Chains A and B, each alone.
Chain A
Amino acid sequence: MSRFRLAATGRPGSPRTLSVVVLAGLLSLPLVAPLAGAFTLEEFQFSDPARAEEFKRLTEELRCLVCQNESLAGSQADLAQDLREEVYRLLQSGKSRQEVIDFLVERYGDFVLYDPPLKPSTYPLWFGPLLLAGVGGLFLFLTLRNKREAREQELSAEEQQRLRALLADDSTPTKDKA
């Protein structure tokens, strides 16, 4: 995904050049694919392994705003690279995990978090599914209870009598000839 908002193509180039580039890209894909996921994080070197681990965790938990279903660690978008660099700078300057998260939320909103905080505006998000499950469960319970009640209903004395009469009478004309 690119940083372009509406246009899917890059800098102006003739369609022909573009198709050649695309074709070349497709043909070389099997060669490049195994490397594609790895190269973006390699360049960020930390002397402290704990910081390196924190960087990895953070970029996986933060969401890229351009490719909205990708984390900062996984996105190839230009903006994701800028934000990775910013996270790297912040961590290198001694900022804590929470300070980095606050920095990004202040500028981009809760949207950058894959794990949104619990607050009034996110109540529907957190409790909506529980509420739905509760309503569904209640509905199921009521339906099942009604069914059982209907089954357990006893016959009245009059009906009992009629039932016995029907069972006892073998020569009744309503009986099938088969």
Chain B
Amino acid sequence: MGKTLKFLIPLALFAGLVALLFFGLGTDPRKVPSPLVGKPAPTFSLPALGDPGRTVSNADLLGQVSLVNVWASWCYSCRAEHAQLMRLARELKEVQILGLNWKDTEADAKQMLRASGDPYRVSAFDPDNRAGIHWGVYGAPETFLVDSEGRICYKKIGPVEPGTWETELAPTIDLTTKKCKESRS
């Protein structure tokens, strides 16, 4: 082995380490990948927010593509993403948005929807984190993209921002067959 080559080995190792650490800078350790992606949505059955007589369950997911958005009135990021959900509710005719109102009070939740609009077809009311645990929710906001057969295509952790639908969520679903794209499951 030549002297120059020997000299280059530590340099190469160092460059590799720098690349690894640089990659690490761009990843967020708070975002824990969900094992539920690609699997059927967990079974749930909850009263609807503001309409306790109506039940929201897996049946509401069947037949069309849904965004299941975990939200709460106390969650500032949820308030921040609210305008984006309103926009998606207006623009995406082939996708329904369902809410999972999480660890909230009914009065506060309804107040928030009155004040800033209601993008949800219906919101399931889960003050005690009963369904949340089964969905692997560990904070709000979280948004699940579910296909017409009730299978989870993608989980977005953190607020929906301008472009989130286009770049992150939409590529995981085929809107003509209304099914998850296999490669991403």
Contacts and interface: CB of A to CB of B under 8 A. Distances in A.
A96 interface: no
Contacts of B158: 5-6
B77 A65 contact: no
Interface stretch (B56-64, B83-91, B93-101, B131-139): B131-139
B15 interface: no
A65 B159 CA distance: 18
B75 A108 contact: no
B76 A7 contact: yes
A107 B74 contact: no
A108 B141 contact: no
A107 B36 contact: yes
A83 B132 CA distance: 11
Interface residues of B, number: 26
B75 A4 contact: yes
A6 to B, nearest CB: 5
Contact of B140 (A5, A82, A106, A107): A5
Contact of A107 (B75, B103, B133, B141): B133
A86 interface: yes
B30 interface: yes
A108 B35 CA distance: 6
A83 B140 CA distance: 16
Contacts of A133: none
Contacts, number: 63
A127 interface: no
Given A68-B30, A107-B35, A109-B32, A3 B133 contact: no
A16 interface: no
A10 B108 CA distance: 14
B155 to A, nearest CB: 11
Interface in A104-132: 105-111
Nearest to A6: B77
B136 A10 contact: no
B103 A3 contact: yes
B76 A65 contact: no
A79 B42 CA distance: 19
Nearest to A82: B129
A5 B141 contact: yes
Contacts of B77: 4-7
16 contacts: A3-B139, A5-B75, A5-B140, A6-B80, A6-B159, A7-B77, A68-B30, A105-B35, A107-B36, A107-B134, A107-B135, A107-B136, A108-B34, A108-B35, A108-B136, A109-B34
Interface of B: 29-30, 32-36, 42, 74-77, 80, 103, 129, 132-136, 138-141, 158-159
